[in-house]
């Protein structure tokens, strides 16, 4: 059975919280793997980065992380955080047709509701609570697992 690949995006200051969400996902979805754990591999935030740092992290975050994912889970729970990097990752996923699941408080005064992707409905869904988001990700993982099983059965029948 192939892995279900997940990239988890979020705020740099919320690295510990993001790690907890990653742990929950991988413990509750069979064969789930995190494509790139930026919370462990990146040692500096956006304000301290050079252009070279940005290029290196963009390669890891976008191409290795988002680009190889079956879905992106974006944790956007801080009302006054702009989520510029997270928005870049969401946009990259949208452009590649990768489903995006967003955990965000639906407060119209927050940055979360004032971003360029908030009103898009195709390919992304926003949840105010973790449990429905988790259920949706599990459903997608099961769908992928079942489609792979069906393909293997079809190939076996043809042989």
pLDDT in tens, 111-153: 565 566 655 666 778 888 999 999 999 999 999 988 865 445 5
pLDDT of residue 66: 92
Band of the pLDDT at 79, cuts 50, 70, 90?
confident
The residue range of the domain holding 76 is 4-158
DSSP states of 89-117? HHHHHHHHT--EEEEE---TTSGGGGSTT
Domains in the chain, number: 1
Check pLDDT > 80 for residue 102.
yes
pLDDT of residue 82: 82
Q: At 90, which CATH number? A: 3.40.50
Q: How far is it, in rounded angstroms, from Cα 109 to Cα 3?
A: 38
Average pLDDT value for the chain:
81
Which two structure tokens, joined as six digits, stand for 155? 């190939």
pLDDT of residue 151: 47
* Residues contacting 149, CB < 8 A, separation 6+: 1
DSSP state of 70: S
pTM above 0.85, yes or no: no
Neighbours of 66 (CB within 10 A): 26
pLDDT of residue 154: 47
């Amino acid at each position: 059975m192939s892995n279900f690949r997940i990239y988890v995006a979020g705020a740099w200051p919320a690295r510990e919280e993001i790690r907890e969400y990653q742990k929950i996902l991988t413990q509750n979805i069979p064969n789930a793997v995190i494509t790139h754990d930026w919370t462990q591999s990146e040692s500096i935030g956006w304000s301290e980065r050079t252009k070279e740092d940005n290029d290196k992290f963009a390669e890891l975050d976008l191409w290795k992380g988002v680009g190889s994912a079956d879905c992106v889970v974006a944790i956007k729970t801080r009302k006054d955080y702009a989520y510029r990097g997270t928005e870049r990752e969401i946009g990259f996923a949208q452009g590649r047709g990768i489903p995006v699941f967003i955990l965000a408080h639906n407060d119209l005064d927050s940055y979360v509701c004032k971003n360029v992707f908030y009103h898009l409905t195709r390919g992304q869904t926003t949840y105010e609570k973790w449990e429905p988001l988790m259920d949706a990700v599990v459903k997608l993982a099961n769908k992928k697992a079942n489609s792979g099983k069906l393909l293997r059965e079809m190939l076996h029948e043809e042989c």
